[in-house]
Chains A and B, each alone.
Chain A
Amino acid sequence: MRKNFRILIIPYLFLIPYLFTFIAFRFGPSIAGFFVSLTSWNIVGTPKFIGFSNYIELFNDPSFITSLINTLYFMVLTVPALIVLGLLIALLVDQNLKGRTITRTFVFMPYVIMSTVVGVIWMWIFDTHFGILNYYLSFFGIKPIAWLSSVNWAMPAVAITTIWWTVGFNMILFLAGLQDIPEELKEAARIDGASNWQIFWNVTFPLLRSTTVVVLMLTLINSFEVFDQVYVMTGGGPSMATLTVIQYMYFQAFQYFRLGYGSAVAYVVFAFLIVLVLIERQLLKKVGES
């Protein structure tokens, strides 16, 4: 009885340090955040309860709607590209080719650079009048593109930066998944006369399913929470063309000191992410069943 009790309690003792920090710094503030979202509060002083007014104001706030649409646009630009490119590069560097180690290093290297540094580097590259990208494009007769100051180009420019910066991370995850696939399975398919494409589509890709789920989920969440590179490169402009929801939340809560309103944005983002993950899981379930 005593032994059973010890066996039962000991794992929880190990969990206590994590649970403590989780409750104190994640779960607790998350719950508190919801109550704050029902108030008008500027950090100093007593919060004033205003019910769901912040949420009502939020859905009538054109800037918030713009930020939501921009975030979805950013996701459309980056998520498929990050997954397809990550997989393709992983497949490439998984081959027994010369220089694959150095290629892996080069592709992954940007990921270890700080987001602010990445932003500054690409601001120089994208400079309309004196940037290196427009200089090279001019050789093809292309007129200078206002990458960061044009409403049409600013978000694609931020997306290009993000893809360059983070594709290495997806590549590493896919590479780990690829190296888990037993070589014998591919070998057997090859003996059965399968082409390289058939091996990839019928052997490699299905076995990468769990990796793909993880990569997709992480990429979706990271893209939805985009902040740093936008903050550094465009600040959300021009004319709010790159304003994202997290940035909007930051402005409201920490620049305008509208803590209640900012918390309401956070909760809408939270709800949105949950819905997104649920849809994604259902879709993958269907793909798995088929």
Chain B
Amino acid sequence: MRLKLGILALLSILVIGMVAMAAQPIELTFWGGWTGPDGDVMRALVDEYNSTHPDVHITFTTMQWTPLFTKFMTSAAVGNPPDILGMHGPDIPQFAALNLLTPLGNVISKAGFTATQFATAAWNGTFYNGVQYAFPLDLHMNAIYYNKTLFEKAGITPPTGWISGQQFLDMAIKLTIDKNGKHPNEPGFDPNNIVQYGFGLYSLNWHAFLQWYELLAQQGYGFLNQQNTKVDYPLDAGLKAWQWLQDLVFKYHVSPVGATNPLNDFLIGKTAMLEDGPWEIPACQAQKGLEWGTFPIPQVFEQKTVWGSGHVLTIPVQKDKAKIQAAEDFVIWLIKNSSKWALSGNIPALNAAREYAYSLPGRTGFLESAPYEVMLPRIPNEAEVFSAASVSPIVVAGQDIMVRDKDILPVMKWMNDQINQILSRGQ
């Protein structure tokens, strides 16, 4: 009798346990590098999914992209990667080459998504060696932010579309004022005592290179050869692109030398324009008293092109099929509901979702630029070739040219040699 009761009790515990386990939602981890206000927007989307899908619970973790990828590599090495990982399109090759990402082409087509439903650059950015590894989430590219009040004071009507390099320079000169109220094109202008700069651009970090890269593309050239094994562009074109940037600082004095915080200078009204990406939209919105808008970067050369990138969503390789299925479901839901992601400043990749961005303030410049976006080449050792670290040749070259006013050609040749050395080493 006692034995029977014991078995019964044991069975009851087992059944209750199994029922309880079955009722537990599937736990998923989602990592992304959205550490600013964009992280809050993504968190709100995750919360919405969690509240409407009781069978799944997603824990969203953010940290800066570089440490995030280190964390991903170490966690993948011990077989415990996140279930969903956000990254940029050009980041895909370095992880795909190590077989850390699940190919998603079938999942994407089963979900009913096709290339025509997405911005071309965003869709193309999800492939590596012909295999699709990610869902395209958004696009983000450079554009010009401008201070409406300072434009009004200078009597300038802000552009709404693409303008030429000369038109842009004329505006920047008008918006640059020294302490005696003179502009750079006036006699007696004092470049050592400028109280307001026309244009803030990044010269200390890797954005200097990106600004150069888009100007190279405006002349119809890429940075690497077709096989992505060697630097390959006409030096003359590279020189012209760097020269434009260097002149803005040292010849026309419309941009400060070595600005340490161009965004802040713009927010507090010390510079009238700023070249930056849409991730700064929340900062502009939060700045009290700042009236701002955006327009595309100037078309300095023959073609309209702008550097850009795009966030994508990947599913790292793992064995748990239930988790993979749950992760796919979430990502499909997220892409379908990505119109709200426009609140983060990024431009949704899905055409239908992008419509919403048009109704939001300050998006004009980015929406106008979206069709002309060029991304960086897609290579497995992207982390080293296009590194933002201070040892990176592209960063050092930008600083040498735009901060130290060095002779462009030798610096450019040095940069090319260094990049070729890294490329020859492989991943």
Contact = CB atoms under 8 A, between A and B. Distances in A.
Asked whether A and B interact, the reply is yes
Interface of A: 42-45, 63, 67, 123-124, 126-130, 143-144, 146, 148-151, 234-240, 242-243, 247-248, 251, 254-257
Q: Is the interface of A mostly helix, strand, loop or mixed?
A: loop
A251 B389 contact: yes
Interface in B55-96: 66-67, 70, 73-74, 76-77
Interface stretch (B107-115, B219-227, B252-260): B252-260
Given A42-B98, A235-B205, 9 more contacts: A130-B270, A237-B204, A237-B390, A238-B404, A239-B400, A239-B403, A240-B396, A243-B391, A254-B67
A239 B205 contact: no
A247 B204 CA distance: 17
Given A45-B98, A238-B399, A239-B399, A254 B70 contact: yes
Given A149-B403, A235-B205, A248 B391 contact: yes
A250 B255 CA distance: 32
A126 B101 CA distance: 44
Nearest to A253: B70
29 contacts: A43-B77, A44-B77, A67-B391, A128-B259, A129-B270, A130-B268, A143-B192, A146-B257, A146-B258, A148-B204, A148-B260, A149-B257, A150-B403, A235-B205, A235-B390, A236-B391, A237-B399, A238-B258, A238-B403, A238-B404, A239-B399, A239-B400, A239-B403, A239-B404, A251-B390, A251-B391, A254-B70, A255-B66, A257-B383
Contacts of B268: 130
A240 B205 CA distance: 12
Interface of B: 66-67, 70, 73-74, 76-77, 98, 100, 192, 194, 197, 203-205, 256-261, 265, 268, 270, 381, 383-384, 387, 389-391, 395-396, 399-400, 403-404, 427
Given A43-B77, A239-B400, A130 B390 contact: no
A130 B196 CA distance: 10
A255 B390 contact: no
Contact of A63 (B74, B270, B381, B391): B391
A256 B399 CA distance: 21
A44 B197 CA distance: 48
A42 B381 CA distance: 11
Nearest to B385: A256
A43 B72 CA distance: 10
A251 B390 CA distance: 9
Contacts of B270: 129-130
Q: Which 3 A-B pairs have the closest CB atoms?
A: A149-B258, A236-B390, A238-B399
A42 B260 contact: no
Contact of B265 (A130, A149, A151, A251): A130
A44 B98 contact: yes
B389 to A, nearest CB: 5
A87 B259 CA distance: 37
